[in-house]
Amino acid sequence: MTKYVCKRIGYALLTIFLISVITFTLMNLIPGGPFMSEKAVTPATQAALEAKYGLDVSKPQQYVNYMSGLLQGDLGLSLKQKGRTANDIIFSTFPTSAKLGGISILLAIVAGTALGSLAARLRGKWGDQLIMVVSTLGIAVPSFVVASTLMRIFGVELKWLPTMGLSTPMHYILPVFTLAFYPMAYITRLMRSSMLDALNQDYIRTARAKGVSKFSMLFKHALRNAIIPVITYAGPLLAYTVSGSFVVEKIFNIPGLGREFINCITGRDYPMVMSTTIFLATLLVLMNVVVDILYKVVDPRIKLK
């Protein structure tokens, strides 16, 4: 197990290194630069700015400089938000996104698993059809449509829920639902099909012959066998969602990391692009390791090598 984890961390570091190289290259291939604006900048000012932010050296040197900073925990200065470091921006916005995303994914996993199992149990009946219709909607309708519809109904017409910011628990309801809808729908469908498969297995017949209740048959005997695809999906999903959704944060006016991520790309804020990408990559790689370990916890037949 320890050997396995060490090996995985080694691979993870390699992956993150490759991602940093690719990101750096692609980022510099995008035309334009951080100091271009409608107002013309004199060559002297341009040169001074580039010198201040270390953009006057060769590209490979810039990469080396950035990476050596990264290894010391310094993600660099933001080129656009004066006086703020990338560390400061990421660690002040990430908790907001993480909290919102975490709650959403928890909801998506719990509700998706339960609804999917239920749909499998009720296969072909109207309950199953209803769940399938809702989950198809969840997959087909984009989040900005969900968000604006919810805001219109619950915020504007009924005036039940606030629509801007995250100041009280009530504020969380609409963005959480918007964020959770798609993954919940996806997990429901995954769960339904793998549950149908599990319910047809011989060990379910054995459980039935033992006199096990329907609830225990579904949620003890079948669920643990059927949940592997959900775990596979939920790991990377968690990484993506806690790192913030641009659309949801923009619509609900939430100061999260998702917004920063998009803004820094459009603004060619090089250190921010590198830092946010590497941050997301690290989260993703980490979640994949967690998923692999969870497989082993759920299914004893799986061997970690």
Chain residues binding other proteins by CB under 8 A are: 201-203, 205-213, 221, 224-225, 298-301
Q: Which of residues 157 and 202 has its CB atom nearest to other proteins in the complex?
A: 202
β-strand partners of 77: 85
Alpha carbons 284 and 82: distance in angstroms, whole number:
29
Q: Which of residues 52 and 125 has its CB atom nearest to other proteins in the complex?
A: 125
DSSP track, 176-245 = HHHHHHHHHHHHHHHHHHHHHHHHTSHHHHHHHHHT--HHHIIIIIIHHHH-HHHHHHHHHHHHHHHT--
Residues with Cβ within 8 Å of residue 265, at least 6 apart in sequence: 273
Q: Which of residues 136 and 206 has its CB atom nearest to other proteins in the complex?
A: 206
Alpha carbons 162 and 258: distance in angstroms, whole number:
21
Nearest-approach distance from CB 129 to other proteins, in angstroms: 18
Q: Which of residues 161 and 217 has its CB atom nearest to other proteins in the complex?
A: 217
Our CA angle for 254, 256, 258, nearest 5°, is 115
Q: Which of residues 84 and 210 has its CB atom nearest to other proteins in the complex?
A: 210
Three-state DSSP state, 163: coil
β-strand partners of 85: 77
Q: Which of residues 29 and 297 has its CB atom nearest to other proteins in the complex?
A: 297
Give the pair of three-digit tokens for residue 98: 């993480």
Nearest-approach distance from CB 126 to other proteins, in angstroms: 17
Our CA angle for 196, 200, 203, nearest 5°, is 125
Q: Which of residues 105 and 195 has its CB atom nearest to other proteins in the complex?
A: 195
Alpha carbons 96 and 146: distance in angstroms, whole number:
21
Nearest-approach distance from CB 215 to other proteins, in angstroms: 11
For residue 263, the Cα-to-chain-centroid distance in whole angstroms is 18
Alpha carbons 88 and 92: distance in angstroms, whole number:
6
Nearest-approach distance from CB 144 to other proteins, in angstroms: 40
> Are 258 and 243 contacting, i.e. CB atoms less than 8 angstroms apart?
yes
> Are 302 and 296 contacting, i.e. CB atoms less than 8 angstroms apart?
yes
Nearest-approach distance from CB 127 to other proteins, in angstroms: 16
Q: Which of residues 52 and 205 has its CB atom nearest to other proteins in the complex?
A: 205
Nearest-approach distance from CB 197 to other proteins, in angstroms: 13
Nearest-approach distance from CB 299 to other proteins, in angstroms: 5
The residue type found at 32 is G
Nearest-approach distance from CB 300 to other proteins, in angstroms: 5
